[in-house]
Structure 1
């Protein structure tokens, strides 16, 4: 363990890391995500904007708008990371730009995670406690929750990234090998709060909703399977996108706190860590698919505002975002809670 603290200020040259091995893989990943994710997120935001104007939306609309805004901000950083990779891991824009882009990238990763949890909790309240949750599921509460998420994630990321964002000697941005002990402890905390805790929340809400749906006699099998299917997609999306990175991070940073050969560990795990790191941006591509294009009301608004998208198609039945996946009362009315 003392070896880590003794060598924590070693230069990247002393570790002999193969910095060029991730260039092709991450460039392809970022290019694909940016080229497909940017138009899909813009279309989604446009559809939700018109949905909010036409139906007023609700608290879930606020959470999804924040989620897409987070995705869009993260997408806008990808061209800079592509240039960084093509420049042999040398940041050409100076410390301030590196710090800003680094904060935006990390803040939006964990803001996305938090908004996914809020969406899942909102669905759980709407389906399991449709009447008693009315006072909680309001636009005002959703707006305050959104501000709190942005503030907390920014402050949390700032506290961990501030000392380690830019290496002026090697011109590395968001890369230090080996990392300092304080940064290793920070990253272990992000694994616990940014992955394990959200996994627990998503698992609990999905299970609770599943039990409620099985006991609800007012839903058809088709509606029940659709709701459960979307919940499964949400959970799988979260696990596939964020799971590999956080598991590798957990192993890397716990091992760095225990090993006397930090450079050997960094070399052995460098490529897989970098690829898993790049795959976290897939959420910006998958979120519009799972949360917007699966909602027929959002598609309706897109077809109204952009007729070329719905040419030759019959417009789907108009429904609202809030009651799309809510169980119906015995009298046939949906349990809407604003």
Structure 2
């Protein structure tokens, strides 16, 4: 059985049907991801200090936001409206996957940057290298879209069945592409994150400040573990499924094809979880936020609200 026939057979079972799971989950990711990432970008825009980590986080928020903006079309498709042009579906898939791998590389950069900052805080070379964060981000965008675009363009010249988002991505069917996807796109970033997370925990435990009440080392370790857990939760099922698809070759059962689509949905959760893990839970982020600018953005800055807030704060802000 060929991949085309497999996709066609599986597609015939679901044409015109509403898949409540995909619609519900993608809707939640769309709303929450849009609100959280836009909020993060607005706050970064009004942040007084521009640290190297903030550069990575800003680009990560942009990548997650672009990914989120592709989900409404998937919701439309899973509602049973299957009349979308195939090339439009391919472009949406390209934007989603390019930004997903952009998020993976940027998360790796954030973890590596934190590790270098904590492990070698006084090294001039490290400090000089960290200043190249904008150039590294440009390299990430160039790599993700530059590597993905030729593969998708070559796919359009091949005669195939067109089933929009039901069709397997081309990198799941070509050995060379799937090997580079699993190694460069996931394996190497995962190895870097594991090593850097171990280095961060080791540096924190050896720090003299961690032995005092000035630094909550257990809290920092929990944040590192949570970030690594979110990374594995989001991307490990998806890439494991890609590996299994490659092992099956052309005879792909409908259950495995469904597993691919569900694992992609789980991977999209990362766009909603990143702001929680990397922005709003970090002490550094909260310290650098200009709270006056945040209050100006909120619709609660009337004179009455200001007076009420000033009365409620009283002598606490001393």
Sort the TM-score into its range (normalised by shorter chain): 0.7 to 0.9
**Aligned: 1:104 with 2:98:** no
C-alpha RMSD over aligned residues = 3.1
Deviations 1:186-240 (A, max 9, x none): 2343122222211111110011111111211123365222222211111001000
- Give the whole-Å Cα distance in 2 for the aligned partners of 1:65 and 1:154: 18
Question: TM-score scaled to structure 1, two decimals?
Answer: 0.78
Where do 5+ consecutive residues of structure 2 fail to align?
Answer: 302-308
- Give the whole-Å Cα distance in 1 for the aligned partners of 2:57 and 2:142: 17
- Give the whole-Å Cα distance in 2 for the aligned partners of 1:224 and 1:165: 52
Which residue does 1:47 correspond to in 2?
A: 43
- Give the whole-Å Cα distance in 1 for the aligned partners of 2:37 and 2:240: 28
The match for 1:306 among 284, 294, 302 is: 294
Where do 5+ consecutive residues of structure 1 fail to align?
Answer: 257-261, 318-338
Which is helix-richer, 1 or 2? 2
Asked if the contact 2:55/2:134 (under 8 Å) is kept, the reply is yes
- Give the whole-Å Cα distance in 2 for the aligned partners of 1:172 and 1:75: 22
Q: Secondary structure at the match of 1:29?
A: helix
Question: TM-score scaled to structure 2, two decimals?
Answer: 0.82
Change (3 A) 1:14 1:85: closer
**Aligned: 1:275 with 2:262:** yes
Asked if the contact 1:165/1:175 (under 8 Å) is kept, the reply is no
Asked if the contact 2:74/2:165 (under 8 Å) is kept, the reply is no
Which residue does 1:183 correspond to in 2?
A: 174
- Give the whole-Å Cα distance in 1 for the aligned partners of 2:313 and 2:57: 26
Return the offset for 1:272: 2.0
- Give the whole-Å Cα distance in 2 for the aligned partners of 1:181 and 1:245: 11
> Which structure would you say has the larger RCO, counting Cα contacts within 8 Å and 6 or more residues apart?
1
Asked if the contact 2:70/2:92 (under 8 Å) is kept, the reply is yes
Alignment length (residue pairs): 298
Q: Secondary structure at the match of 2:174?
A: helix
Which residue does 1:241 correspond to in 2?
A: 234
Asked if the contact 2:36/2:272 (under 8 Å) is kept, the reply is yes
Which residue does 1:212 correspond to in 2?
A: 203
Which residue does 1:13 correspond to in 2?
A: 8
**Which deviates further from its counterpart, 74-83 or 12-21?**
12-21
- Give the whole-Å Cα distance in 1 for the aligned partners of 2:13 and 2:70: 24
